[in-house]
Amino acid sequence: MQLDLFLDSRAVMLANDAIDALAARDAARAGVALERLRSEAPDHPALPALRTSVRRLAEWRRPGTDPQAILFTVRWLDEELAPAARQVLGDAASAFVAEFFREMAQDARGVAYEPAHAQSHCAALCLRCGEWAQAEAAAAAIPGATRRSDPLQWLTVARYRQNGLVAAQPTLFALAWHAPHRLAAVRAALADEPLEREWQAFERACDWESVAEDELPAWFPAWFLVEHPVAGKELGDVAFPDSPPASAARLLVALLALERRGDQRRLAGERERLRRLNRELFALYMARREVRYS
């Protein structure tokens, strides 16, 4: 954020010199410009934030491949460097901080995934610097990625950033089944208006009295398939866990296929299975059939 007050003044030029050096991550040059500004304009309003930012930049050390050291550095960036940078660089601070995460992501390639140090994994670091394709590749390489909450969350965000909601639906649904408590955080990260409208419609669809509140997100995929049958074609090779919400979603995919074939005998039996899994979802499904075929 360039200062634009009294552009011809020496103090403003010196402040801008320090800001430019900071944005370029040149701690030595920023320190020299800062010292000149302090000497010639000790009351300049940008001095405190500049002093903190330049000091934090000079303190920067790449943590290497140690997961604990990476976690410590992530916290340091979030709590020390980023707030100071925002005061000085404004909107440009995000790109400035992203470069530090990019360096850490490069160093962390090949470091094994450890749930206790999840945010030190290369996939998480790539997401912090906008390297979406690299994040997806790193997350997908984790053994059992399609059944684990951290990789599923990273895959969902990375695929959404690259190709939108449809591309992210399979892992979003799998995350809802495996870690329903994480769905709110992912929705907030994506900030996708159509997805939020779908979620609100899901919550309003019925009372969901048969579902515990903390398990409600796990039923979102099945409801989504009731409302948008074509979404079943996008699930591809997604792994359905052995849980009632996932079983209901898998059953709905089968029901929709039976409807297309007109297999009434099997259709009746599969519908009864859906009714036993969740009466509220079954009622919504049948209501849609009545609308469709009336």
pLDDT in tens, 99-148: 999 999 999 998 999 999 999 999 999 999 999 999 999 999 999 999 99
Q: Domain count of the chain?
A: 3
| 258, 270 contact by CB (below 8 A) | yes
Based on the fold, state whether residues 134 and 198 are members of the same structural domain.
Answer: no
Entry field: residues in the chain: 294
Tell me: the pLDDT tens digits for 210-269? 999 999 999 999 999 999 999 988 887 788 999 999 999 999 999 988 888 877 888 999
Taking the C-alpha atoms of residue 137 and residue 77, their distance in angstroms, rounded to an integer, is 24
Based on the fold, state whether residues 234 and 107 are members of the same structural domain.
Answer: no
Based on the fold, state whether residues 154 and 243 are members of the same structural domain.
Answer: yes
With tokens 């969740």, the residue in question is 278
Residue where a domain terminates, one of 142, 160, 176: 142
Q: What is the pLDDT of residue 292?
A: 54
Q: What is the pLDDT of residue 172?
A: 97
Residue where a domain terminates, one of 94, 122, 142: 142
Based on the fold, state whether residues 245 and 261 are members of the same structural domain.
Answer: yes
Paired tokens of 104:
């850490």
* Residue of 222, 235, 230 lying closest to 277 (CA atoms): 222
Tell me: the pLDDT tens digits for 9-19? 777 888 889 99
- What one-letter code names the amino acid at 214? D
Residue where a domain terminates, one of 117, 142, 167: 142
Compute φ and ψ for 60, nearest 5 degrees: -60, 130
Read off the pLDDT band of 40 (50, 70, 90): confident
Based on the fold, state whether residues 217 and 100 are members of the same structural domain.
Answer: no
- Lowest-confidence pick of 2-11, 23-32, 170-179: 2-11
Q: Which comes out higher in pLDDT, residue 245 or 289?
A: 245
Based on the fold, state whether residues 17 and 46 are members of the same structural domain.
Answer: yes
Q: What is the pLDDT of residue 3?
A: 45
Tell me: the pLDDT tens digits for 149-208? 999 999 999 999 999 999 999 999 999 999 999 999 999 999 999 999 999 999 999 999
pTM: 0.89
Mean pLDDT of the chain: 92
Cα atoms found within 13 Å of the Cα of residue 50, Cβ hemisphere only: 29
Q: What Cα–Cα distance (Å) separates residue 63 from each residue in 26, 55, 244?
A: 19, 18, 44
Based on the fold, state whether residues 169 and 265 are members of the same structural domain.
Answer: yes
Instruction: Using CB atoms within 10 Å of the CB of residue 3, give its burial: 0 to 12 exposed, 13 to 18 middle, 19+ buried.
Output: middle
Based on the fold, state whether residues 155 and 103 are members of the same structural domain.
Answer: no
Q: What is the pLDDT of residue 228?
A: 93
CA geometry: angle 237, 242, 243, nearest 5 deg: 115
**Percent of the chain residues past pLDDT 70, beyond the cut:** 96
Based on the fold, state whether residues 290 and 159 are members of the same structural domain.
Answer: yes
Read off the pLDDT band of 83 (50, 70, 90): very high
Based on the fold, state whether residues 77 and 54 are members of the same structural domain.
Answer: no
Based on the fold, state whether residues 207 and 107 are members of the same structural domain.
Answer: no
Mean pLDDT of 60-78: 96
- Angle at which helix 10-23 crosses helix 82-89, to 10 degrees, equals 140
* Residue of 36, 27, 102 lying closest to 59 (CA atoms): 27
Paired tokens of 74:
């992530």
Q: What is the domain range of residue 136? A: 60-142
Based on the fold, state whether residues 100 and 216 are members of the same structural domain.
Answer: no
pLDDT at 44 over 90: no
Taking the C-alpha atoms of residue 24 and residue 20, their distance in angstroms, rounded to an integer, is 6
